[in-house]
Amino acid sequence: MRALLVGYGKMGKAIGAALVQRGHDVAGRFGRGEILSFSSDLPACDVAFEFTAPDVAPRVVPLLLSQKIPVVSGTTGWDVTSAAHLAREQRIPFLHSSNFSLGVAALRRAVAAAAAALAPFPEFEPGIVERHHAAKKDAPSGTARVLALDISREPLSKRSVPIVSLRQGAQPGEHSVFFEGADETVELVHRARSRSIFAQGAVRAAEWMIVSGRSGPLTFDEFFDDLSLKGGAS
């Protein structure tokens, strides 16, 4: 697999390392300066990994899709609706996710199960605390918002889910989901110790996206559930 790295910050470099580790090639790297002059003159590739910024992604993702380049996007804080529509129209794979951690994918399913089990008991009030590095721009995180949706989708859950966001130091990511009762607490936690978990997940999702032959907008959930049902990831 030949890949473009669009955005060559910490995540872009981690994805580059993950690609090499899994036997793939990096066809090109576009850092902050190169993205400003981003054009249709791009190296031949099988997929592009877009990890830029909320004000950059709406411009570069449609350009990549219009060049028939499948895209794995991890930039949060922007509306992907038009990009998803373009991917569907062009029949080009476009996988966007707020989090590429396999552990977070498992956490979401555990949170949904806990929300369903505790829904008949209103004394258990849900809440989320998330911590990320000081440079992260969006708050709450995309993952925290998705976790809140996972809880609120339960038909018996009519309450809003409060989210507390902390931006400190170099914390790569931590999400704690609480169901607080009168005299007991159910707590589900995921702690990232390195950005490499997100890079590995993004590369695995890209491998699946290319091999599966699917097109249009895709989700990390589809990748995770597909491989989980098959009994394990590659």
List of domains in the chain:
2-100+196-229 (3.40.50.720), 102-191 (3.30.360.10)
pLDDT of residue 234: 54
Task: Give the sheet arrangement for strand 174-180, strand by strand.
Answer: 163-167, 125-132, 174-180, 185-191
pTM across the whole model: 0.84
The tens place of each residue's pLDDT in the chain, 234 residues long, gives 999 999 999 899 999 999 999 999 999 999 877 887 777 788 999 999 999 999 999 999 999 999 999 999 999 889 999 999 999 999 999 999 989 999 999 999 999 999 999 999 989 999 999 999 998 878 999 899 999 999 988 766 667 899 999 999 988 899 999 999 999 999 999 999 998 999 999 999 999 999 999 999 999 999 999 988 776 555
In the numeric block, the tokens 């995770």 are attached to 224
Q: What is the DSSP string of 67-134?
A: TT--EEE---SS--HHHHHHHHHHT--EEE-S---HHHHHHHHHHHHHHHHHTT-TT-EEEEEEEE-T
pLDDT of residue 160: 84
pLDDT of residue 158: 64
pLDDT of residue 128: 98
Count helices and strands in the chain by DSSP H and E runs: 8, 10
pLDDT of residue 135: 87
3-class SS of residue 204: helix
Pick from 107, 163, 171: nearest CA to 134: 171
pLDDT of residue 195: 87
CA–CA distances in Å: residue 108 to residues 99, 113, 221: 11, 9, 10
The verdict on whether 136 is a catalytic residue reads yes
Among residues 10, 13, 68, 132, which one is catalytic?
132
pLDDT of residue 104: 95
3-class SS of residue 22: coil
Among residues 24, 68, 96, 136, which one is catalytic?
136
116 residue type, one letter: A
Cα separation of 220 and 213, whole Å? 15
pLDDT of residue 32: 78
To the nearest 10°, report the CA torsion of 102, 107, 110, 111. Answer: -140
- Alpha helices, DSSP H only, in 121-218? 142-152, 196-212
